[in-house]
Amino acid sequence: MGELDVLKKEAETLKTQIETARKAVNDTTMEAASSGVAPAPRIQPKARRTLKGHTAKIYALYWALDNKLMVSGSQDGKLLVWDTHAGILANCVPLKSAWVMTVSFSPSAGLVASGGLDNMCTIVNISGEKPKTMRELDGHDGYVACSRFLSETSILTASGDQTCGLWDLETGKQKQSFLNHVGDCMCVALAEDQNTFISGACDSQAKLWDIRDGQCKQSFIGHTGDINAISYMPNGQAFITGSDDCTLRMFDMRADQEVMCYQNAQPTAGVTSLSLSLSGRLLFAGYDDFNCNIWDSLKGEKIGVLSGHDNRVSCTGIPSDGMCVSTGSWDSFLKIWN
């Protein structure tokens, strides 16, 4: 047998080995294990604010750590920064490219990052009198679908070129590349200690990465469609993904497998976005069918709906104090609920 055949055989053996090892620890389901837990209350959050200002589809939003400012990005070519408590606009950042897919704040909220079909991640300083473009991170061969700051000088990106990248904002250069996905990378989430992160891609897989050495540590299978959204459970040991396959799934990193699937009785709409409440008990998921479903993350039951948008809910977010949930839509509005 040539080396190629030997390797192919080894690959198959290893895949079977992984599957067997996962089955060996699969002694229960999250649902069964939570049967003794009291059901979460049926909640009906009210829309407290409707933020009007964008003139086209909203694609992304992000909360600042002060739990007050929120930035949104729309294909009207603008990033809008909102004072959500007062319900007013705090800042407006015009973009060079209107095709925005992601927005985020740096920890100080002095910087905003945006990325999209221009294949770049643009960093703008908004702490001065006028917004000033600080860096244009050029290096991806595909769209930038998601960007997350590690600090004021470091940012992580997920790209349609099937890679994730870690960038040094002082030099504007990529410090590390993360190569293993075989589909467009759509979303990333950073671990609290920033030593690792998770990504979701159009290859239907989620992956866990070591930030420093660029190594993919674990791959999580289960979804049957593009993964559009990903978020850590607040205990840091599990994460939830949302997909075009109309489901959300919880994966536990130490059990190395899917432990729960959240699926509507009539699954017809893809999941665009997701956010977890402070304790992790409530899962808010935005769908293509204009709704945002509320799930009990432990028991896998749908316990509420946020309805009010006239088009697809493209993004959701919960501030770090867990005080509310915000939704952004193709109807050009943002809403704040609690």
Partner 1 sequence: MSSNSNLTNMRRLVEQLRLEASVERIKVSQAAAELQQYCLQNATKDALLVGVPTGSNPFREPRSCSLL
Please identify which residue in the block is written with the tokens 């935005």: 286
Q: Least distance to partner 1 from the beta carbon of 178, Å? A: 12
Does residue 96 bind partner 1 (CB under 8 A)?
A: no
State the minimum distance, in angstroms, from the CB of residue 297 to partner 1.
7
The span from the CA of 209 to the CA of 46, in Å, is 38
The one-letter code for the residue type at 199 is: S
Strand, coil or helix: what is 75?
Answer: coil
Side chain identity at residue 222, one-letter code: G
Closest separation between CB of residue 323 and partner 1, Å? Answer: 5
Q: What's phi and psi for 153, nearest 5 deg? A: -125, 10
Q: Where are the alpha helices (DSSP H) in the chain?
A: 3-25, 30-33
Which member of 57, 256, 290, 301 binds partner 1 (CB under 8 A)? 256
Residue-wise over 58-72: b if at least 16 C-beta within 10 A, else e? bbbbbbbeebbbbbb
Q: How many CB atoms lie within 10 A of CB 50?
A: 12
Q: What does the per-residue mask of binding to partner 1 show for 305-324, with x meaning CB under 8 A?
A: -------------x--xxxx
Q: Which is nearer to partner 1, 52 or 96 (CB)?
A: 52
Question: Nearest approach, Cβ of 43 to partner 1 (angstroms)?
Answer: 7
Of 147, 277, 291, 332, which lies in the binding site for partner 1, with binding defined by CB under 8 A?
A: 277
Calculate ∠ Cα 78-81-87, nearest 5°: 125
> Which residues within the stretch 144-203 sit at the binding site for partner 1 (CB under 8 A)?
180
Is 246 or 253 the residue whose CB approaches partner 1 more closely? 253
Enter the tokens of residue 183.
């589909």
**Contact residues for partner 1, defined by CB under 8 A:** 3-4, 7-8, 10-11, 14-15, 17-18, 21-22, 24-30, 33-34, 37, 40-41, 43, 45, 48-49, 68, 84-85, 180, 215-219, 233-235, 237-238, 252, 254-257, 259, 277-282, 297-298, 318, 321-325, 336, 338
